[in-house]
């Protein structure tokens, strides 16, 4: 069994994310940082890196980083990346898993909230996959009341593919969404930054669509 699979089944990790859920329910978080979220991130990470023909060791390490990257959210979103790093460091040392390049995993966890300038493909893939997990089922009832954040409740799905040296990202949206509010929201700009950083690293041209229509504003943002 791969280390990633072992971690996914570890009761300690599952219980940790239950703590995250309880905290977010109690404190009315806007979006979930639970096990479903980190598992979504791990799946997206694998899809991107496999499509780019990265080796199995890097893919495994990236998935490990993905599954551990929000373990520090049990005390809230603020500074959760650094708390997740501390938890993951202690956890991996205690488990003594035979992991190559463990420091790169830990660094990706530590910087996943903010560092778009890293040169690590592992970290950039985590950052992009994390930011793209904004589908409606991740948004809490409280988050659906917040200006800007509420627009993500209309995201039915996000399709990502790499084709002809393009990174194609399609947002499938309900017609009720407000494009201006969506674009002005700070987290949408984080999504654009993540797409830009990842695309530059792997020499891909980003193309964004909403319901098969090119998302002109976001493309201009990326190019600028």
Give residue-wise pLDDT tens across range 18-69.
999 999 999 999 999 999 999 999 999 999 999 999 999 999 999 999 999 9
Q: Which CATH architecture has domain 3-223?
A: Orthogonal Bundle (1.10)
Q: How confident is the model at residue 187 (pLDDT cuts 50, 70, 90)?
A: very high
Reduced to 3 states, what is the DSSP secondary structure of residue 139? strand
- E strand or H helix at 207: strand 205-210
Per-residue pLDDT at 163 exceeds 70: yes
What is the pLDDT, as a whole number, of residue 175? Answer: 93
- The residue extents of the domains of the chain are 3-223
Per-residue pLDDT at 221 exceeds 70: no
d(CA 37, CA 28): 17
d(CA 54, CA 40): 19
Q: Judge residue 159's burial from the number of C-beta atoms within 10 Å of its C-beta, 0-12 exposed, 13-18 middle, 19 or more buried.
A: exposed
What is the pLDDT, as a whole number, of residue 179? Answer: 97
What is the pLDDT, as a whole number, of residue 216? Answer: 76
**What's the rounded mean pLDDT across residues 94-106?**
96
d(CA 179, CA 200): 26
Per-residue pLDDT at 223 exceeds 60: no
User: Under a CB-based contact definition with an 8 Å cutoff, are residues 111 and 124 in contact?
Assistant: no
Question: pLDDT, tens digit, for every residue of 5-18?
Answer: 999 999 999 999 99
Q: Cα-flanking dihedrals φ and ψ of residue 63, to 5°?
A: -70, -35
Q: Is 70 left (phi over 0), alpha (psi -120 to 50) or beta?
A: alpha
Residues with Cβ within 8 Å of residue 4, at least 6 apart in sequence:
42, 60, 63, 64, 67
What is the pLDDT, as a whole number, of residue 45? Answer: 98
Per-residue pLDDT at 224 exceeds 90: no
């Amino acid at each position: 069994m791969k280390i990633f699979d072992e971690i996914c089944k570890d009761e300690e990790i599952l219980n940790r994310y239950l703590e995250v859920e309880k905290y977010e329910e109690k404190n009315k978080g806007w979006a979930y940082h639970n096990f479903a979220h980190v598992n979504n991130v791990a799946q997206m990470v694998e899809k991107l890196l496999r499509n780019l023909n990265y080796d199995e060791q890097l893919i495994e390490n990236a998935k490990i980083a993905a599954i551990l990257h929000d373990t520090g959210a049990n005390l809230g979103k603020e500074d959760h990346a650094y708390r997740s790093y501390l938890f993951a460091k202690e956890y991996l040392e205690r488990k003594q898993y035979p992991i190559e390049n463990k420091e790169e995993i830990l660094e990706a966890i530590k910087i996943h909230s903010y560092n778009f300038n890293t040169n690590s493909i592992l970290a950039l893939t985590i950052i992009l996959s994390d930011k793209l997990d904004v589908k409606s089922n991740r948004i809490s009832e409280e988050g659906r009341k917040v200006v800007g954040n509420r627009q993500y409740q209309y995201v039915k799905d996000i399709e990502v593919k790499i084709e002809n040296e393009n990174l194609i990202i399609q947002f499938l949206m309900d017609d009720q969404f407000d494009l201006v509010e969506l674009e002005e929201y700070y987290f949408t700009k984080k999504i654009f930054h993540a797409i830009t950083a990842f695309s530059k690293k792997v020499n891909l041209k980003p193309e964004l669509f909403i319901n098969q229509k090119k998302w002109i504003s976001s493309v201009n943002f990326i190019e600028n």
